[in-house]
A and B are shown apart, each in its own frame.
Chain A
Amino acid sequence: MERPELEVRNLKVAASGRKILDVSYFDLRKGECLALFGPNGSGKSTFLRIISLLQRPDSGEIYYQGQAVSPENREELRRKIVYLLQKPVFFRGTVHDNLLLGLRFRQVDRAEQQTRLERISGLFNLAPLLGRFPDELSGGERQRVHLARAFILEPEFLYLDEPFNGLDVQFREEIMSDFYRIRKSLGITTILVTHNREEAVNLADRMAVMLSGQIVQAGSLEEISEAPATAEVSRLMGQEALVEGVVEKSDDGLLEIRAHGQSIYAFGKQRKGKRVVLTFRPEEVILAPERPASSVRNWFKVEIKEIRPFERMVLVLMDCGFRLKALVSRTSVEELGLKPGTEIWAGIKATALTTWPGLEEMNSSENENE
């Protein structure tokens, strides 16, 4: 197999006795876009700073294109990489000056600067902004300039820290599509830090999940969605925790779980008497005015607590002794006349529920491993 463009081994960083990063292995392949996915505070930004060679780890090895990073080649390698911070910070001067700054750092000659400037302003549609100053730009424009000043450098590696954060939906989609198109056309090896599933799905070829400073899973989006390594990964991939209960019956993988006075059916390997946590995707929940005759095993009579828009859909929050969420279309909300306070039936197939060891079981198995 071809050697990865970037390989990281046994990377460790600690601060005041607390482990911040502990990455045993990470790789990045030529031309791919990898989504580094994880909640806030999981160490993603520290990881990016280290692989951008801006911060030294306590220990560990980093290889770029098969070459171990050393004090001798550090500066040279650093210029192959561009890392964009989450917050777009600008330097004194116009958009034009800000775009050229990185090229000037690299002492690219003037003619080449001009060629690249024209190309990038064309790609990002920046021509009307060149003479303006960063504080005169809208949020979306700032973000576009921020991205453009990375692409203008034509780096071999591009590391972006949540570049689409805080933008309104319309701008986000525009900039995301610019990003996708331009990245593809230039073939830059990219890491995209995000905690937004939609971004990962739309833009990345592969995904790595970071939790508490560790890469807990890496693979294709399908692999991670279908077989998340831990309950936390599953939750990050959009699964919601439903409820914790005790297995009452186990019949060839079909479990009957007792929780809050209700019986819930799900598939799993847990034995009778064990505590389990059930997770589900809100889009798998079916809502009906009456309990219909169907193959769906789990039906709960629920009271609607709240209805709120979520991206292009509507999130319905319900209660039936435990909390339940459904993601439905706006039309469904209108047709079913859903509003807070009404009682309806919520169904979820046994196969749509995932079972995880209960919290106590999980802690005890972790202790066994230690």
Chain B
Amino acid sequence: MNLKEIIQITWLSLLVSGAAVSLAMLVGLPAAVLLYLKKFPGKRLVVSLVNTGMGLPPVVVGLLVAIMFWRSGPLGFLGMMYTPAAMVIAQFIIALPLVVGLSLTALEQVDPEVLLQARALGANAWQTVRVLFRESRMGQLAAIIAAFGGVISEVGAVMMVGGNLKGYTRVLTTAIVQETRMGNLRGAVYLAVILLTLSFFINLFLTSLQRKGVSRWKGPSWK
């Protein structure tokens, strides 16, 4: 395995997991707000499902996505099986319940009186949601850290829907499996170190944002 290949694998890992988590945030954060603010029949059931989803085995997700995108499957005509797009979708499904569940928990930690006071000072619906996120920022970052950590280290689903195609869908985790299988333990260890380092720096970055959040009780003003 040459350096170019390693860089390409690392870059794809970041791209797939980054895209999956970004999509999960795009869908999951508004969903958490709706779950927090709206009362509707079956809400408790939905929350239980989300919580169950937080422990969804990646292999099962991989299987479901594979069934959908299999040539004869309902979405087979899209030709997405064994593509990075399918990997993003699988990781998105893994990340979504983590983002929704943990974000909802963070929102529930906000003192309801803070929201009431914001509205009583004239905040409209959108401004109230912004206050809600600002006040629960640390928890929201924790949700993102957990989701990213969950998907970047996941192997089952990406293996099943990506197929570990060299130069196309091979990511760090599937490459480690591949190298180990081939008896190239040294190569596997190199990749593992890269994965761990990557994971460490991304978490360090997110945690530093979160810590800033702590001191931002004393932080820059609301803009």
Listed in ascending order, the chain A residues whose CB lies under 8 Å from chain B are 49, 52, 54, 75, 78-79, 82-85, 87, 89, 91-94, 96-97, 100-102, 104-106, 133, 135, 149-150, 153
Cβ contact within 8 Å between A92 and B122:
no
Decide yes or no whether B119 CB sits under 8 A from chain A: yes
Question: Which of A54, A92, A135 is close to B120, meaning CB atoms less than 8 Å apart?
Answer: A54
Cβ contact within 8 Å between B121 and A92:
no
Q: For residue B222, which residues in chain A have a CB less than 8 angstroms away from its CB? A: 91-93, 97, 100-101, 104
Q: How far is the CB of B38 from chain A (nearest CB, A)?
A: 15
Q: How far is the CA of A150 from the CA of B120 in the complex (A)?
A: 10
Decide yes or no whether B220 CB sits under 8 A from chain A: yes
Cβ contact within 8 Å between A91 and B124:
no
Given A89-B113, A92-B134, A94-B221, do A149 and B121 touch, yes or no (CB 8 Å)?
yes
Binds A, one of B163-171, B188-196, B211-219: B211-219
Q: How far is the CA of A104 from the CA of B123 in the complex (A)?
A: 9
Count residues on chain B whose CB falls below 8 Å from chain A CBs. 25
Cβ contact within 8 Å between B219 and A92:
yes
Q: For residue A78, which residues in chain B have a CB less than 8 angstroms away from its CB? A: 122
Q: How far is the CB of B110 from chain A (nearest CB, A)?
A: 10
Q: How far is the CA of A202 from the CA of B124 in the complex (A)?
A: 35
Cβ contact within 8 Å between A102 and B219:
no
Cβ contact within 8 Å between A89 and B111:
yes
Given A89-B113, A91-B131, do A54 and B119 touch, yes or no (CB 8 Å)?
yes
**7 A-B pairs whose Cβ atoms sit less than 8 Å apart in the complex:** A83-B120, A85-B117, A89-B117, A92-B217, A94-B218, A97-B222, A101-B118
Chain A residue nearest to B121 in the complex (CB): A102
Cβ contact within 8 Å between A87 and B219:
no
- Number of A-B residue pairs at CB separation under 8 A: 71
Chain A residue nearest to B218 in the complex (CB): A133
Q: How far is the CA of A237 from the CA of B131 in the complex (A)?
A: 41
Q: How far is the CA of A52 from the CA of B122 in the complex (A)?
A: 10
Q: How far is the CB of B105 from chain A (nearest CB, A)?
A: 19
Given A83-B120, A91-B134, A153-B121, do A105 and B127 touch, yes or no (CB 8 Å)?
yes
Question: Which of B121, B218, B221 is close to A105, meaning CB atoms less than 8 Å apart?
Answer: B121
Q: How far is the CA of A268 from the CA of B118 in the complex (A)?
A: 52
Decide yes or no whether B114 CB sits under 8 A from chain A: yes
Q: For residue B220, which residues in chain A have a CB less than 8 angstroms away from its CB? A: 93
Q: For residue B123, which residues in chain A have a CB less than 8 angstroms away from its CB? A: 105
**A54, A89, A133: residue with the most chain B Cβ atoms closer than 10 Å:** A89
Decide yes or no whether B135 CB sits under 8 A from chain A: yes
Q: For residue B218, which residues in chain A have a CB less than 8 angstroms away from its CB? A: 93-94, 133
Given A91-B114, A92-B217, do A105 and B120 touch, yes or no (CB 8 Å)?
no
Cβ contact within 8 Å between B122 and A87:
no
Chain B residue nearest to A150 in the complex (CB): B121
Cβ contact within 8 Å between A79 and B120:
no
Question: Which of A96, A105, A133, A135 is close to B122, meaning CB atoms less than 8 Å apart?
Answer: A105
Q: How far is the CA of A101 from the CA of B222 in the complex (A)?
A: 7
Decide yes or no whether B204 CB sits under 8 A from chain A: no
Decide yes or no whether B116 CB sits under 8 A from chain A: yes
Interface 1/0 per residue, B132-167 and A, CB below 8 Å: 001101000000000000000000000000000000
Cβ contact within 8 Å between B122 and A79:
yes
Q: For residue B118, which residues in chain A have a CB less than 8 angstroms away from its CB? A: 91, 101, 105
Q: How far is the CA of A133 from the CA of B216 in the complex (A)?
A: 10
Chain B residue nearest to A84 in the complex (CB): B120
Q: For residue A105, which residues in chain B have a CB less than 8 angstroms away from its CB? A: 118, 121-124, 127
Cβ contact within 8 Å between B221 and A93:
yes
Given A54-B116, A105-B127: 13 more A-B contacts, CB < 8 Å: A54-B120, A84-B120, A85-B120, A92-B217, A92-B219, A93-B218, A93-B219, A96-B221, A100-B222, A101-B121, A133-B217, A135-B217, A150-B121
Chain B residue nearest to A88 in the complex (CB): B117
Q: For residue A91, which residues in chain B have a CB less than 8 angstroms away from its CB? A: 114, 118, 131, 134-135, 222
Q: For residue A106, which residues in chain B have a CB less than 8 angstroms away from its CB? A: 122
Q: How far is the CA of A94 from the CA of B114 in the complex (A)?
A: 15
Q: How far is the CB of A258 from chain B (nearest CB, A)?
A: 52
Q: For residue A133, which residues in chain B have a CB less than 8 angstroms away from its CB? A: 217-218
Cβ contact within 8 Å between A100 and B221:
yes
Chain A residue nearest to B112 in the complex (CB): A89
Q: For residue B216, which residues in chain A have a CB less than 8 angstroms away from its CB? A: 92-93
Q: For residue A135, which residues in chain B have a CB less than 8 angstroms away from its CB? A: 217
**B111, B117, B127: residue with the most chain A Cβ atoms closer than 10 Å:** B117
Chain B residue nearest to A85 in the complex (CB): B117
**B111, B117, B122, B124: residue with the most chain A Cβ atoms closer than 10 Å:** B122
Q: Which of B82-120 contact A (CB under 8 A)?
A: 111, 113-114, 116-120
Given A87-B113, A92-B135, A97-B222, do A82 and B120 touch, yes or no (CB 8 Å)?
yes
Q: Which of B166-216 contact A (CB under 8 A)?
A: 216
Q: How far is the CB of B212 from chain A (nearest CB, A)?
A: 11
Q: For residue A89, which residues in chain B have a CB less than 8 angstroms away from its CB? A: 111, 113-114, 117
Q: For residue A101, which residues in chain B have a CB less than 8 angstroms away from its CB? A: 118, 121, 222
Q: How far is the CA of A149 from the CA of B218 in the complex (A)?
A: 18
Q: For residue B137, which residues in chain A have a CB less than 8 angstroms away from its CB? A: 92
Q: For residue B124, which residues in chain A have a CB less than 8 angstroms away from its CB? A: 75, 105
Q: How far is the CA of A49 from the CA of B115 in the complex (A)?
A: 13
Q: For residue A102, which residues in chain B have a CB less than 8 angstroms away from its CB? A: 121-122
